[in-house]
């Protein structure tokens, strides 16, 4: 671990020395238009700057120079960072999942003494898939099945990820969303403000393992809801791999839409998870040609509309 950390710090220092003058301008333009599909969102890990004055040269035939090519493997495929058609993770009921699932015990809300009657557990599957990247414990490119024959590992690590060199280009480091890696540069405070003052702020994406400053996940939805309570009753239910999904059927068609808030029941009753309010592929806002809702929300929270889907206040 110490070797990897020292190596990472050395790579970041080299990057800084190489690009200090370039970073004196505004944030680099990207293809993050947040329209049409996940390809144009920040969940597309293959993206690179549009301009010719990129910070560092990338591997040959990679579609142009890229800023992030020393920090993550560019697999050249959008979906592979989360999904794989072969060798998917069989330990979790997630569609063709291509990442190892965290075994961490997370710090969660302690609802005792708050007057709340709900029970809470560790995050469920629909949160763990998100946390497999956003808790910062794994590199963003730490997939189990990299493109190409023989590039599979059930526990992707630095050595395994370094075998991805289709053009002979060594990435050099494989960084995750935490303070000693991606956030060395992608933060508006501390060292980041000095070495990369215009780098995009990633701190909001770095959730970590202490979940007390986020909406509770793994928290049970009250079994008593509806008139006379503080909770609304989900009107729909559908069987899904791993359990039942309850949803607020806002258009009354009896079908689960990506725009509808949902609850997950994997045997412990209905619970709130990351996927309850967020869709990782993006949800269009109102209007033709408009962008996706911020933070991959399933519906707008204008006038607390998202909150009031579940809460009756």
Give me the domain span that covers residue 159. Answer: 73-216
Q: In what order do the strands lie in the sheet with 236-240?
A: 219-220, 270-272, 262-265, 243-247, 236-240
Decide if 57 is inside a domain. no
Domain C-terminal end among 154, 185, 216: 216
Mean pLDDT across 34-63: 63
| Domain contains 38 | no
- Note whether 203 and 225 are same-domain residues: no
Q: Reply yes or no on whether the pLDDT at 18 is more than 50.
A: no
pTM here is 0.84
Do 211 and 305 fall within a single domain? no
Higher local confidence (pLDDT), 31 or 14: 31
Neighbours of 163 (CB within 10 A): 12
Q: How would DSSP label each residue in 203-215? A: GGG---SB-TTS-
**142 shares its domain with 167:** yes
Question: How far is CA 251 from each of CA 162, 256, 313, rounded to the nearest angstrom?
Answer: 48, 10, 21
pLDDT of residue 115: 56
Of the candidates 80, 108, 75, 126, the residue with the CA atom closest to the CA atom of residue 247 = 126
What local confidence, expressed as pLDDT, does residue 19 receive? 41
- Report phi then psi at 204, rounded to 5: -70, -20
- Return the closest-CA partner of residue 217 out of 259, 267, 278: 278
Mean pLDDT, rounded, for 71-83: 92
161 and 236 share one domain: no
Q: Are 173 and 10 in contact (CB under 8 A)?
A: no
Q: Are residues 89 and 203 in the same domain?
A: yes
Residue 56 lies in a domain: no
Number of residues that this document lists for the chain:
313
Q: Tell me if 40 is assigned to some domain.
A: no
In this structure, the answer to whether residues 98 and 182 fall within a common structural domain is yes
> Which of 59, 94, 245 lies closest to 170, judged by CA?
59
Continuous H helices in the chain: 2-19, 125-134, 158-161, 190-195, 274-277, 307-310
- Based on the fold, state whether residues 257 and 180 are members of the same structural domain: no
When the pLDDT of each residue in the chain is averaged and rounded to a whole number, the result is 83
> Could you tell me if 71 and 171 are in contact, meaning their C-beta atoms sit under 8 angstroms apart?
yes
* Nearest-5° Cα angle at 155, 152 to 159: 75
100 with 196, same domain?
yes
List, for residues 121-141, the tens digit of each pLDDT value. Answer: 899 999 999 999 999 999 999
Contact 210, 117 (CB under 8 A): no
* Contact yes or no for 157/143 (Cβ under 8 A): no
Residue finishing a domain among 216, 238, 253: 216
Question: Does residue 66 lie in a domain region?
Answer: no
Confirm whether 258 is domain-assigned.
yes
Task: Report the SS3 class of residue 11.
Answer: helix
Judge whether 19 lies within some domain.
no
Structure tokens at 104: 């961490």
190 and 272 inside one domain: no
Specify whether 92 is located in the same domain as 191.
Answer: yes
Question: How confident is the model over 243-274, as pLDDT tens digits?
Answer: 999 999 999 999 999 999 999 998 889 999 99
| Number of domains within the chain | 2
Q: Could you report the per-residue pLDDT of 160-214, keeping only the tens digit for each?
A: 999 998 767 777 889 999 999 999 988 888 877 787 787 788 899 999 999 988 9
Verify that 209 and 256 share a domain, yes or no.
Answer: no
Examine the fold and report which residue of 166, 192, 216 is the final residue of a domain before the chain moves on: 216
Residue 47 confidence (pLDDT) above 70 = yes
CA distance 163 to 145: 12
With helix as H, strand as E and coil as C, how does 294-307 read?
Answer: HHHECCCCHHHCCH
Compute the C-alpha angle 39/58/169, nearest 5°.
Answer: 110
Tell me the DSSP string of 206-250.
---SB-TTS--SSEEPPSS-STTSSBPPP-EEEEETTEEEEE--T
User: Does one domain contain both 208 and 80?
Assistant: yes
Do the domain assignments include residue 277? yes
pLDDT above 90 covers what percent of the chain?
56
């Amino acid at each position: 671990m110490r070797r990897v950390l020292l190596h990472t710090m050395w790579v970041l220092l080299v990057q800084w020395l190489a690009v200090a003058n370039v970073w004196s301008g505004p944030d680099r333009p990207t293809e993050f238009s947040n329209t049409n599909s996940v390809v144009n969102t920040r969940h597309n890990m293959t993206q690179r700057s549009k301009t010719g004055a990129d910070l560092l040269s990338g591997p040959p035939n990679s579609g142009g120079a890229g800023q992030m090519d020393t920090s993550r493997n560019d697999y050249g495929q959008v979906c592979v960072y989360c999904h794989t058609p072969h060798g998917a993770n069989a330990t979790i009921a997630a569609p063709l999942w291509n990442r190892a699932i965290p075994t961490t015990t997370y710090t969660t809300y302690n609802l005792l003494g708050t007057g709340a009657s709900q029970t809470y557990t560790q995050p469920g599957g629909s949160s763990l898939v998100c946390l497999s990247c956003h808790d910062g414990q794994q590199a963003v490119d730490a997939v189990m099945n990299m493109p190409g024959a023989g590039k599979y590992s059930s526990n992707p690590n630095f050595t395994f990820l370094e075998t991805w060199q289709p053009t002979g280009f060594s990435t050099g480091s494989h960084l995750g969303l935490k303070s000693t890696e991606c956030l060395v540069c992608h933060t508006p405070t501390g060292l980041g403000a000095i070495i990369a003052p215009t780098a995009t702020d990633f701190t909001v994406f770095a959730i970590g393992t202490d979940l007390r400053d986020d909406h509770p996940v793994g928290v049970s939805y009250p079994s008593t809801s509806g008139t006379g309570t503080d909770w609304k009753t989900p009107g729909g239910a559908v069987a899904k791999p791993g359990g039942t999904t309850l949803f607020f059927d806002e258009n009354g068609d009896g079908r689960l839409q990506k725009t509808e808030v949902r609850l997950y029941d994997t045997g412990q009753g209905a619970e709130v998870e990351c996927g309850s309010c967020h869709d990782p592929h993006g949800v269009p806002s109102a209007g033709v040609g408009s962008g996706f809702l911020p933070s991959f929300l399933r519906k707008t929270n204008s006038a607390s509309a998202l909150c009031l889907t579940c809460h009756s206040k």
